[in-house]
Amino acid sequence: MQHIYYKGTDETKPTLLLLHGTGGNEESLIGLAKEIDETANILSVRGNVLEHGMPRFFRRLAEGVFDMEDLIFRTKELYEFLQTSAQQYGFDRQRIVAIGYSNGANIAASLLFHYDDALAGAILHHPMVPRRGIELPQLSPTPVFIGAGTNDPMCTAQESEDLETLLSTAGATVTTKWFNFGHQLTMPEVQAAKEWYNSIYA
Ligand code: MLT
């Protein structure tokens, strides 16, 4: 997968896996990651699917309606990419913390829904429930931050609440913070994510 890797300066920190929103690329979230932790390794990946020229991490049939077969295939592809990247760059495979926005948050959530050892933690900005009706792996004690929008037209409050319930039931420790700026990722949300991150990894 097309990506950027930066080696961090503090080996005690996790590796930040950056997953952009629809139409973004591997450059999009670098500034955000530096805001969260400028000393951690960064692995920033570009989604392999194109929708009218816009990179995404999996296909959708309509807005908010996911192509499940492709979601499962792309989730596995990303899972395997994490494995080979850890070997290539020499970072700890067991200590990857995803930071995803929108479509990137959805593939990060899908990693958590399908694998018990994909992520050591996740910051999900405006995620949805990637897939319903499956039993999740045991996620304990994976810490997850959800940045949700009370008035997000795309990733509704109900989706955020359902996602929190599903992940918590699977054993994850979920912290949800609410904002009222629609689907936008704003500085107050980034600051809340940073506080959460520092409480666990600093
Ligand atoms: C998705 O397709 O993953 C969600 O609708 C969010 C997005 O449009 O990126």
Residue among 19, 63, 71 to mutate when testing ligand 1 (max atoms within 8 A of CB) = 63
110 lines ligand 1 (CB under 6 A): no
* Nearest CA owner, ligand 1 atom 3: 103
Per-residue confidence at 31, pLDDT binned at 50, 70, 90?
very high
Q: Check residue 40 and give its pLDDT.
A: 98
Nearest atom, ligand 1, residue 128 CA: 4
Share of the chain above pLDDT 90, in %: 98
**How far is Cα of residue 65 from the mean position of the Cα atoms in its chain?**
18
Q: Check residue 140 and give its pLDDT.
A: 82
Per residue in 41-98, pLDDT (tens digit) is: 999 999 999 999 999 999 999 998 999 999 999 999 999 999 999 999 999 999 999 9
Helix (H) or strand (E) holding 145: strand 143-149
SS3 content of the chain, % helix, strand, coil (to 5): 35, 25, 40
Pairing of strands 143-149, 121-125: parallel
Nearest atom, ligand 1, residue 126 CA: 6
Return d(Cα 120, Cα 122) in angstroms, integer.
7
Q: Which residues are catalytic?
A: 102, 152, 183
60 lines ligand 1 (CB under 6 A): yes
* Nearest CA owner, ligand 1 atom 7: 103
Structural domains of the chain ordered from first start = 3-201 (3.40.50.1820)
Per residue in 107-149, pLDDT (tens digit) is: 999 999 999 999 999 999 999 999 999 999 999 889 999 999 9
